[in-house]
Structure 1
Amino acid sequence: MSSWRRHVEQRFIEVAGTTVPEPGSGATWNRWAFFARLAEEDLSLARLSEGHFDALAILAELAGPRPEPGSRWAVWAAKPASLEFSGGRVRGVKPYCSGARICTHALVTAGDRLLAVAPGTPVTGSWPATGMAASDSLDVRFADAPATPVGPPGGYTGRPGFHHGGIGVAAVWYGGARAVARPLVGARDPHALAHLGAVEVALTGARTALERAAEEIDADPLDRERQAAGRALRVRALVAETAAEVLDRAGRALGAGPLSHDEQHGRRVADLTVYLRQHHAERDLARLGEMVTGATW
């Protein structure tokens, strides 16, 4: 294990022992700002931490088992997957399981069910990625592992918190983009200054969108106005586009120097590049377009 991955794991253990506001609690922006600060420190750390706190919020919302003190949770909901659940046991392989070797518990999706499980067996070599390497997102194999259903069938994606949590991920992207942009601060070359100005505009717009979304969620945490899904799609798309612009402009302004000689900056660029691929891009834009069709602007 690399020294950096050991550092990230130790920090995750520390962070998992803290408390953050739940989404819709009246302090949603404080929750997301916390995730963004962690992302500025390290994106893998933020990924692990956001997953842990998302799991705690899900357990509270769906009346799942009470987390034990000192436990570290994950949410493993990636597709495709071949998990089968029957007789109180789950079997099969789940991909992209962040924290596969450090989390003590996980929420996993199997069909339309959400299950609480103890982590299965990580598949060695299934996460050789350079970007987000410290997130330890290996495939995990479950062999008739005991599993406890959490919520009713479809409850995981059918609750308002599913969309609120999706914006929490965008807050992590935002923090990662801020970290990538940091070397531009203090630039003197006029072209680099122009890129810095454009980055400032984009990041300010992303933060404003996140803050407004947090206010709207706190005003309607149960989504009685039926705005959660569209809000999440809009904010995630905006923040993802902002992060992509930051990656592009930072690279054009700084050239190969920081990528070649600054290990931390190179890791941040690689991590953000990989993590942004969690965004569903055109598929989400198409869903948003379907919502917009027929609406009055």
Structure 2
Amino acid sequence: MLRSSAWPPSARHVDTTGIEETAGRPDSSPADRLTVARALASTTPLLSAGTAGRFLATLAAVAAGDVATARTVEPHLDALGILDQAGMPAPAGSTWGVFAAEGPGLRLDATVQDDGTALLTGTKPWCSLASTLSHALVTAHAGDDRVLVAVDLRQDGVTAHDEAWVARGMPDVPSGPVDFDGVTAQLVGAPGWYLRRPGFAWGGIGVAACWWGGAVGLGRVLRSLAAAHPESELLQAALGATVIDLADAEDALADAAARIDRSDDPDAPDVDWPLLAQTVRSRVRRTVDSVRERVVATVGPAPLTSDPAVAARVADLELYVLQDHGVRDLARIGRIVTERGGVAW
């Protein structure tokens, strides 16, 4: 699966085929996918300098097997990495999400206590699998500060609204809002720590690795069809364009992994991590959109109406990449470069 020469040494021995085979199927249950997440957490090193190649390649391989499983695995691994950076152990057997989105008209407030705990009151949007997970890392407002807290979701006062999730993509990964009514949580790091650490940008690149892996799975659909019809110039051209798109996105991810793996080297060049992460995410988003639209236009309606795996992958990817905000994130790149540089030209 890995072809780019930019991948660092930590990616060289990832068994992507084996990971894909254990990643589940489109009809897997949330519980089955969380079993995969726990299993991978026991064998995959947390994202850090020296492990990024293996970590990103693992996520990509999971998504190549099943996009919804990757959507389940990625936040679990991300949360474990954040807890490790904060020096906080995760309870044995726990399953984790990361709820950090904001939404208009919704606010989650944290009343910080002297003992390092907080009481949560309000509503948090976009809480994936909140009714299934045991725990989550959640961002909340503490006055003018943003804090990160660890929450046991099995407490009284936690109400997940799965009924609000009507998406056709990832229908069994409900991501509705959650109400918190005086729920106890544990502070993780100092106020603002979650957003300031380099690992925040690295985690965003991990999500992009899932997008790319999902698009690889679609590319394989097109490759199989082109192999079955070698006389079709249309299919061969579509496959060629897809090869180029996927290679561009893989190079972006592999280069980012190499930079992360070198980040603890005092001789490594400085990296503007927010700029790098957003550039990688936007490049991968562009690839996924291009591949998805091309595959759908080229293969016709039959696979989308008769093959559950293909239909699920198309719908799941279309929704998943909307975690990137399109033009608004391109504008963010422009603002970063205008304010502090970051491009050679």
TM-score of the two chains, using structure 2 as the length reference = 0.81
Find 1:76's aligned residue among 87, 93, 99: 99
Contact 1:4 1:134 in 2 (8 A): no
Letter in 2 for 1:30: R
Find 2:76's aligned residue among 39, 52, 59: 52
Q: Which residue of 1 aligns with 2:139?
A: 109
Q: Which residue of 2 aligns with 1:219?
A: 262
Please state whether the residue corresponding to 1:134 is helix, strand or coil.
coil
User: Structure 1 66/290 Cα, relative in aligned 2: closer, same or farther at 3 Å?
Assistant: same
Find 1:67's aligned residue among 90, 95, 107: 90
For the pair 1:240 / 2:285, whether they are aligned, the reply is yes
2-structure distance, mates of 1:249, 1:226: 34
Contact 1:236 1:279 in 2 (8 A): yes
2-structure distance, mates of 1:221, 1:232: 17
Q: Which residue of 1 aligns with 2:308?
A: 263
Contact 2:109 2:122 in 1 (8 A): yes
2-structure distance, mates of 1:258, 1:237: 28
Q: Which residue of 1 aligns with 2:212?
A: 174
Please state whether the residue corresponding to 1:75 is helix, strand or coil.
strand
1-structure distance, mates of 2:48, 2:110: 31
- CA deviation profile, 1:183-219 (whole Å, cap 9, x unmatched): 1113122101101110001101111111111000111
Contact 2:30 2:132 in 1 (8 A): no
For the pair 1:198 / 2:241, whether they are aligned, the reply is yes
Find 2:329's aligned residue among 264, 284, 291: 284
2-structure distance, mates of 1:6, 1:240: 26
Find 2:46's aligned residue among 22, 26, 45: 22
How big is the shift at 1:154? Answer: 0.7
Contact 1:185 1:196 in 2 (8 A): yes
1-structure distance, mates of 2:332, 2:33: 37
CA RMSD between the two structures:
1.9
How big is the shift at 1:8? Answer: 4.3
Q: Which residue of 1 aligns with 2:35?
A: 13
2-structure distance, mates of 1:193, 1:105: 47
How big is the shift at 1:25? Answer: 3.4
User: Structure 1 180/9 Cα, relative in aligned 2: closer, same or farther at 3 Å?
Assistant: farther
How big is the shift at 1:124? Answer: 3.9
Letter in 1 for 2:33: R
Instruction: Map 1:104-183; keep pairs closer than 5 Å.
Output: 104-111=134-141, 112-119=146-153, 120-183=158-221
What 5-or-longer segments of structure 1 have no aligned partner?
A: none
Letter in 2 for 1:191: L
How big is the shift at 1:149? Answer: 0.9
> Is the deviation greater in 170-179 or in 114-123?
114-123
How big is the shift at 1:24? Answer: 2.5
User: Structure 1 245/108 Cα, relative in aligned 2: closer, same or farther at 3 Å?
Assistant: same
User: Structure 1 135/38 Cα, relative in aligned 2: closer, same or farther at 3 Å?
Assistant: same
Contact 1:213 1:231 in 2 (8 A): yes
Letter in 1 for 2:91: E
How big is the shift at 1:173? Answer: 0.3
User: Structure 1 135/5 Cα, relative in aligned 2: closer, same or farther at 3 Å?
Assistant: farther
Q: Which residue of 2 aligns with 1:42?
A: 66
How big is the shift at 1:271? Answer: 0.4
User: Structure 1 163/224 Cα, relative in aligned 2: closer, same or farther at 3 Å?
Assistant: farther
User: Structure 1 4/265 Cα, relative in aligned 2: closer, same or farther at 3 Å?
Assistant: closer
Letter in 1 for 2:220: R
Please state whether the residue corresponding to 2:148 is helix, strand or coil.
strand
> Is the deviation greater in 268-277 or in 34-43?
34-43
For the pair 1:273 / 2:318, whether they are aligned, the reply is yes
User: Structure 1 44/203 Cα, relative in aligned 2: closer, same or farther at 3 Å?
Assistant: same
